[in-house]
Chain A
């Protein structure tokens, strides 16, 4: 209950905001920040809880975007269906990638995820139906009442998705699944010998993580009215998800949320005031800084300060 009441309040607040006369740019920018929250939370299930650091976010995010595109172009499917099917397809990809590579050591798994990104990107570049290398323009459907603009509706939808993703991550964390993931992160061999079915748990984490990332990618084509391979599968999505989770703190579901909000907001500010490229520099520098100096992230720093003042 302690979680669900604030969560419900947040969703209602988001919807309320979307209906209020706030500057349109706020929704435009916040949508990206909320996307980061979902991506970082999803990444953390496999990368943080299980300890399998990976760079594959862009593959699932991009595939989610393209699945939604295909559904929209072929069937005129509504957003909810796009998101649901994208989640299913990307969950399947997560399962497949996991099956292929989770038996391998950490870095091989990470590199394999990069390989999946480029293979997906190449497939989309060569697929005429979705526009190939030049991409596809998409006409947004009529916006659903009571929202004034499509962006506002997407904002509300993404806010709901963020809360949902966090709720799922929280459930995994406190359940016996989370206990098992933490055990296999600390020592996979000892976990196996303690009765933990490590491969099954890793596959579960991979599938759930992939599904959530796909869901986050699905509304993107509608958000941009445009979909194109290079930006959809850009490695920057991967570095942002990873950095947000590691900067925020990987042991608790709050970590990715804090990291995503901090990083996302900072990036929006930097993009507007300086440039888009410096954005990526900011992420890189912060990631390296935290990984070296504060490996437990913002959450870890808060814990230390609290201890210090007790």
Chain B
């Protein structure tokens, strides 16, 4: 490994694109865990499930991005159902049950993973699209089109969600329920319905994230394990519940991983996310913009 400004710049550029992608992938968790306090360790698994759904639709000729967008609707409903079940079984009964909720989602993540293995096998799957495989030339650098697509979608998703949470009535209610549930109840709103809605949105975002995942690279059923580290590192680094923080944290992770990848090799890159996670938890658990 030798250090050169050229390589560093390329790593930085790739890192920014990668970072935005990671941020988009983590936005769903920012809502479900950051705002709603649901111990949703199955979030990456649902996202990978979304990737495979995209793969299925793509095998019928669908464009993966279109597939991902269309999948948002059924995933929204799925999210609402999952939250309802979680709430009735665990959250209602207090903190003792909250710990079991964690085990519950852990079990769900494994069931999804094994289900995918049984359904699709352990081999990696990819999709095809006009923007996959081509690269944009910028001087000496080549930026893969698929990264630009992911970058674009990521920005749009983050922007839309941030806007939704701050400008619309339901969005603000979601933020309110995260901060002060009893007050919201007194205002006549039903916090459970709001949280259910929010969880649905988070799951819908996961569907789109899943589509992006398989656009950016091949997926395999065990991929969710790696993304547990990435998504939680980002959400914790951002500070629970901060959408803009998620983007910033995503960029930090993306750049860090890209630099490690460039100068130390692929065998060290997976540890970056987990390393950042431990660092943040040890030094500043409330993250950058935390409540």
Contact = CB atoms under 8 A, between A and B. Distances in A.
Interface stretch (A169-177, A193-201, A208-216, A284-292): A284-292
Nearest to B221: A277
B228 interface: yes
B236 A133 contact: no
A283 B110 contact: yes
A118 B267 CA distance: 12
A108 B225 contact: no
B229 interface: yes
Interface stretch (A6-14, A119-127, A159-167, A217-225): A119-127
Contact of B274 (A114, A133, A291): A114
A110 B41 CA distance: 10
B274 A118 contact: yes
Contacts of A36: none
Contacts of A260: none
Contact of A284 (B41, B110, B226): B110
Contact of A111 (B41, B99, B108, B117): B41
A104 interface: yes
A291 B282 contact: no
Nearest to B33: A107
| Majority secondary structure, B binding face | helix
A254 interface: no
Interface string B258-288: 0000000001101100110110011001000
A122 B114 contact: no
Contacts of A51: 96, 99
A137 interface: no
A213 to B, nearest CB: 17
B117 A277 contact: yes
Interface in A101-144: 101, 104, 106-108, 110-112, 114-116, 118-119, 122-123, 125-126, 133
B104 interface: yes
B256 to A, nearest CB: 14
B228 to A, nearest CB: 6
Chain B residues touching A, range: 35 or more
Contacts of B33: 107
A284 B81 CA distance: 19
B111 A295 contact: no
B228 A114 contact: yes
B289 interface: no
A51 B39 CA distance: 15
A111 B110 contact: no
Given A108-B236, A281-B114, A115 B267 contact: no
B114 A107 contact: no
Nearest to A115: B274
A100 B268 contact: no
Contact of B275 (A108, A119, A292): A119
A239 B103 CA distance: 9
Interface string A151-195: 000000000000000000000000000000000001000000000
B106 A239 contact: yes
Contact of A122 (B41, B99, B236, B270): B270
A115 B278 contact: yes
A288 B270 contact: no
Given A100-B282, A106-B98, A114 B229 contact: yes
Contact of B39 (A104, A107, A235, A288): A107
A55 interface: yes
Contacts of B226: 118
Contact of A100 (B113, B229, B281): B281
A117 to B, nearest CB: 8
B121 to A, nearest CB: 10
Contact of A280 (B103, B110, B228): B110
A292 B285 CA distance: 30
Contacts of B228: 111, 114
Contacts of A126: 267-268
B103 A287 contact: yes
Contacts of A283: 107, 110
A133 B267 contact: yes
B102 A107 contact: yes
Q: Closest 8 A-B residue pairs measured CB to CB?
A: A122-B271, A115-B274, A284-B110, A287-B107, A284-B111, A288-B107, A281-B114, A107-B39
Interface of B: 33, 39, 41, 89, 96-100, 102-104, 106-108, 110-111, 113-115, 117-118, 225-226, 228-229, 232-233, 236, 267-268, 270-271, 274-275, 277-278, 281-282, 285
Given A122-B270, A280-B114, 5 more contacts: A115-B277, A115-B278, A119-B274, A126-B268, A281-B118
29 contacts: A53-B103, A106-B98, A107-B41, A108-B236, A108-B285, A110-B41, A110-B102, A111-B281, A114-B229, A114-B274, A115-B229, A115-B233, A115-B277, A115-B278, A118-B226, A122-B271, A235-B225, A242-B103, A280-B113, A281-B110, A284-B107, A284-B108, A284-B110, A287-B104, A287-B107, A287-B110, A288-B104, A288-B111, A291-B103
